């Protein structure tokens, strides 16, 4: 649900003739043709595209002389014993069409005009005693070359169909629509006019497959929400049929037009048939547990029967048809990919010409990416044309010497040297792109949970004496008691993989721990960093502790230690907090929602806006981001072990009940329960922007969800008696998260409070949580030294051969330890794409103008409006906080304001905005 645009007004007139077929006891009983009517269309006051007659039934009344109204204003039967009603069918065409597509459109208009393109069957919510199913009437859609609406809605066309409905038909509850054309079309909605009470809306927002691809008609329900037990008798069979068609039979390869949702493991990340170096283990199962992804049903590889064969770009990976990007989103994403290609062209060219990837040699090399762009000489352009044959790339290369520039990332826009400072390093643990790993230090000494027989003594090398040197006379015990010591602990998650990671060419990593002190002046300060390697027979003491030094040598070593911590942080951010905890874990919720909740179920309607585009973006990620040899492996420290690290985090750390923001903050010791506060929580560090803003968003979502659930589940036992809902929750646990199905921490689903809690968590993960850790990727990560995604060298020790080189030129040692130009610019380009809002983004608390009739319940719409108003208030609260000079993590010289949880945004890389769903 998205922002309401200002309405435009337009009218459309076309002659339509309708061939009605009444199907009270059979589907194809022909009746007399209706008269030809004129029709029009407009955008109503709510911003939705509607036919002129959507404003009421006056147009129908005036155009249909057989009808009359009684003294109460209700339609009465015509003299023929039936009521004349009209269906207005709204279809979305492509915005930008090729000549061939325009010709095809004209043919479609002609076919529809003569009633040979679309058949619709209107189903009553009352049962026909003859058929034991809903009463029905059928008609063909007719309309001669309807003219599209102007302005923003030029790509939307309308057709009409007339029905003669028996006077005892009852209320329409569903429509069966059959596409007789040779290709699919996108149906926005159908509106029925002529019944008592005004227009009846059937929101669709779905692709309607051609009958040649699938002979079954599509079922579209009206915008009335029903619990399963409340389903009108005439719709019960259709409700069940629709769910069965969505589930499929779990067999065969999925085709592009399918809308079948099912589960599978991550068994298509590798490509052993192409290269054994690209073979990857199956992620999902007892050895490497993981959430399930959407099944595609492709055949196995020849080399490995457990691995599914891959589909490489530009060919699409299957997702259910309605999950694919719409045209605006597709264009934005494609433009981002082109931008990424162009940004990567120069370093790729340099690699080819020099036969080896090159490191940054000076900080000015990095600055040049933003300041001047990159110049390519004429001979390099000629070489580039040979290497990159795409015509678009050729055009760019011949435009001139100046190359595309990267935008200056927000983190250095106001202060180019902010990244060097300890307080900025610490500030980003609370207000950066990964503010979800910092936790309070609860006890000392710091102890590892790993097996000491394998990984050596569990005690950290960070000693009490070393910490107290940095505490200005405060003891460790007192600092812990006063909640002033915090830790960023990546030791246990990385240590089992360090040896394998460091065996990869050009990769060197440690398992890190960083201890911070929260000063009395309200500043977080790093005081000690521990970098560990697995113990070996030759090096049993493999833990090194570093502190900030005032000598030139220790100063540079401290910079390198912080860079290694940032590399750990970047890996966990991308593989665990971003990919696993939002993208991957949301996918099973979406699959289960489609499989087990009817589209007329109130919880389906609540969740639907929060599922948009997620399966498609996840499929694209499996194709080119997290796959073997993909961008994540190429650009982040874990390399080919990236998804195994993610799986280990899922196994050891992920719990559904801890994905709720309040539970996560309490688990990390960053908040305590406090019933006296509006959110019921009190932050240990008040100036914790992610948590402070997040709790505002969380509370707004919680209030909205609770009012919604209360409305539909007010009766005792209504949650436990909802068979669809119980099957939905069971499937999420037992199929979607199969490897964790037996965990005792799964919430029960017995009460409306249980349901509200579960739904609030899901909506938070899809909206606020994802926004907070995604849209800051380029603003914070676009400057390589601030967040290096990998390190290529260990910190030089005095007995190392490279130590003298470090002493003589520490800057070169630092830069050569970071990612190379190719690696860095590749990840920068991807971060830029992932941080970009599409122009069709749908933001939290806002309604898409074409979806304004998503539900008919006025109480729910009022409740939603309160939610929307609350989010506007929150935006003002956050903006006020960002101007408060006392909140040092949000304001100060050169510090970018914390805006990642501001609900609204425009398109592009804005560093703000909360989309409804994980859409990028």
Question: Is-catalytic flag, 920?
Answer: yes
DSSP 202-249: EEEEEEE-BTTT--SPEEEE-S----GGG--GGGHHHHHHHHHHHH--
Integer Rg of the chain from CA: 30
Name 201's bridge partners.
Answer: 191
d(CA 311, CA 309): 7
Q: Within 10 Å of residue 675's Cβ, how many Cβ atoms?
A: 7
d(CA 200, CA 171): 9
Marked catalytic residue, from 343, 573, 578, 594: 578
d(CA 333, CA 353): 30
Structure tokens at 224: 């009335």
Structure tokens at 36: 């030809």
Cβ atoms 205, 63 nearer than 8 A: no
DSSP character at residue 32: P
d(CA 728, CA 751): 15
Q: Which of 39, 42, 48 is nearest to 16 (CA)?
A: 39
d(CA 855, CA 57): 20
Q: Is the peptide bond before 445 cis (omega within 30 degrees of 0)?
A: yes
Signed CA dihedral, 105, 106, 107, 112: sign only: positive
Burial of 352: CB neighbours in 10 Å, binned 0-12, 13-18, 19+: middle
Marked catalytic residue, from 548, 564, 573, 583: 583
DSSP 687-702: --HHHHHHHHHHHHHH
Structure tokens at 108: 């479609």
Structure tokens at 362: 């000076």
Name 812's bridge partners.
Answer: none
Marked catalytic residue, from 467, 591, 626, 920: 920
Marked catalytic residue, from 548, 573, 770, 851: 770
Classify residue 664 as left (phi > 0), alpha (psi -120 to 50) or beta: alpha
Describe the chain by its helix, strand, coil percentages, rounded to 5: 40, 15, 45
Q: Which of 319, 846, 837, 848 is nearest to 590 (CA)?
A: 319
Strands annotated E in 674-751: 681-683
Marked catalytic residue, from 774, 786, 882, 916: 774
d(CA 627, CA 769): 24
Q: Within 10 Å of residue 295's Cβ, how many Cβ atoms?
A: 20
Cβ atoms 267, 308 nearer than 8 A: yes
d(CA 227, CA 717): 13
Classify residue 31 as left (phi > 0), alpha (psi -120 to 50) or beta: beta
Question: Is-catalytic flag, 578?
Answer: yes
Name 489's bridge partners.
Answer: 513
CA angle, corner 910, sides to 907 and 912, nearest 5? 105
Annotated catalytic sites, by residue?
A: 578, 583, 770, 774, 920
């Amino acid at each position: 649900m998205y922002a309401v645009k200002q309405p435009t007004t337009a009218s459309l007139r076309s002659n339509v003739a309708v061939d009605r077929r009444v199907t009270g006891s059979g589907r194809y009983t022909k009746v007399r043709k209706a008269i030809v009517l004129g029709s029009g269309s407009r955008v109503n006051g709510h911003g939705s595209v509607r036919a002129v007659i959507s404003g009421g039934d006056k147009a129908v009344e005036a155009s249909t002389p057989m009808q009359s109204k009684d003294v109460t204003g209700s339609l009465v039967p015509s003299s023929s014993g039936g009521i004349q009603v009209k269906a207005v069918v709204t279809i979305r065409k492509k915005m930008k069409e090729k000549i061939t597509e325009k010709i095809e459109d004209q043919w479609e208009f002609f076919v529809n005009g003569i009633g040979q393109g679309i058949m619709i069957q209107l189903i009553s919510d009352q049962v026909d005693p003859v058929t034991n199913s809903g009463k029905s009437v059928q008609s063909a859609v007719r309309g001669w070359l309807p003219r599209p609406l102007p302005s923003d809605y030029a790509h939307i066309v309308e057709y009409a169909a007339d029905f003669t409905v028996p006077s005892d038909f009852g209320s329409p509850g569903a429509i069966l629509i059959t596409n007789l054309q040779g290709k699919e079309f996108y149906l926005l909605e159908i509106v029925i006019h002529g019944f008592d009470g005004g227009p009846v809306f059937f929101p669709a927002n779905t692709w309607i497959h051609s009958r040649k691809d699938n002979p079954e008609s599509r079922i579209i329900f009206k915008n009335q929400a029903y619990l399963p037990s409340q389903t009108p008798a005439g719709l019960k069979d259709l409700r069940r049929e629709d769910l069965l068609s969505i589930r499929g039979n779990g067999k065969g390869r999925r085709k592009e037009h399918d809308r079948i949702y099912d589960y599978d493991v991550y068994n298509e990340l590798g490509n052993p048939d192409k290269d054994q170096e690209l073979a990857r283990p199956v992620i999902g199962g007892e050895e490497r547990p993981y959430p399930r992804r959407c099944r595609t049903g492709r055949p196995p590889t020849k080399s490995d029967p457990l691995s599914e064969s891959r589909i490489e770009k530009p060919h699409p990976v299957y997702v259910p048809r309605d999950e694919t990007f719409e045209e605006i989103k597709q264009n934005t994403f494609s433009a981002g990919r082109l931008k990424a290609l162009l940004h990567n062209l120069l370093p790729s060219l340099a690699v080819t010409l020099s036969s080896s990837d090159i490191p940054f040699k000076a900080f000015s090399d990095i600055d040049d990416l933003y300041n001047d762009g990159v110049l390519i000489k004429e001979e390099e352009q000629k070489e580039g044309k040979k290497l990159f044959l795409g015509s678009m790339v050729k055009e760019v290369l011949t435009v001139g010497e100046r190359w595309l520039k990267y935008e200056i990332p927000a983190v250095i826009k106001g202060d180019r040297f902010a990244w060097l400072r300890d307080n900025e390093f610490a500030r980003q643990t609370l207000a950066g792109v990964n503010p979800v790993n910092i936790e309070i230090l609860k006890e000392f000494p710091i102890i590892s949970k790993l097996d000491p027989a394998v990984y050596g003594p569990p005690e950290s090398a960070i000693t009490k004496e070393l910490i107290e040197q940095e505490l200005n006379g405060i003891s460790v015990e007192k600092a812990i008691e006063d909640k002033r010591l915090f830790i960023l602990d990546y030791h246990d998650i990385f240590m089992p993989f360090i040896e394998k990671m460091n065996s990869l060419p050009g990769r060197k990593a440690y398992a890190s721990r960083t201890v911070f002190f929260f000063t009395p002046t309200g500043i977080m300060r790093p005081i000690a960093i521990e970098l560990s390697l697995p113990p070996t027979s030759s090096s049993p003491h493999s833990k090194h502790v570093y502190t900030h030094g005032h000598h030139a040598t220790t100063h540079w070593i401290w910079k390198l230690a912080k860079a290694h911590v940032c590399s750990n942080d970047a890996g966990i951010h991308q593989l665990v907090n971003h990919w696993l905890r939002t993208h991957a874990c949301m996918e099973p919720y979406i699959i289960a929602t489609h499989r087990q909740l009817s589209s007329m179920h109130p919880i389906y309607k609540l969740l639907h806006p929060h599922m948009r585009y997620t399966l498609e973006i996840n499929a694209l990620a499996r194709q080119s981001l997290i796959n073997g040899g993909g961008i994540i492996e190429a650009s982040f420290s874990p390399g080919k072990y990236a998804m195994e690290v993610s799986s280990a985090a899922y196994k050891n750390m992920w719990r559904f009940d801890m994905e709720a923001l309040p539970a996560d903050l309490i688990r990390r010791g960053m908040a305590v329960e406090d019933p006296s506060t509006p959110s019921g929580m009190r932050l240990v560090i008040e100036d914790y922007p992610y948590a402070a803003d997040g709790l505002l968003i969380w509370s707004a979502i919680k209030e909205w969800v609770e009012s919604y659930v209360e409305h539909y589940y007010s009766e005792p036992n209504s949650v436990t008696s909802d068979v669809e809902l119980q099957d939905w929750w069971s499937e999420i646990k037992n199929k979607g998260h199969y490897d964790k199905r037996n965990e005792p921490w799964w919430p029960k689903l017995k009460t409306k409070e249980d349901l509200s809690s579960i739904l609030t968590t899901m909506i938070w993960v899809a909206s606020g949580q994802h926004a907070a850790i995604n849209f800051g990727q380029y603003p914070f990560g676009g400057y390589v030294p601030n967040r290096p995604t990998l390190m290529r060298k260990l910190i030089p020790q005095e007995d190392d051969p490279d130590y003298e080189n470090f002493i003589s030129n520490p800057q070169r040692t630092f830069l050569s330890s970071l990612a190379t130009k190719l690696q860095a610019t590749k990840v920068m380009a991807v971060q830029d794409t992932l941080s970009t809002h599409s122009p069709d983004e749908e933001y939290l608390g806002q309604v898409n103008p074409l979806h304004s009739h998503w539900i008919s319940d006025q109480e729910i719409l009022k409740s939603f409006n309160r939610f929307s108003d609350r989010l506007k208030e929150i935006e003002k609260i956050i903006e006020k906080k960002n101007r408060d000079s006392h909140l040092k993590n949000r304001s100060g010289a050169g510090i970018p304001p914390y805006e990642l949880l501001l609900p609204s945004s425009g398109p592009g890389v804005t560093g703000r905005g909360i989309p409804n769903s994980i859409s990028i």
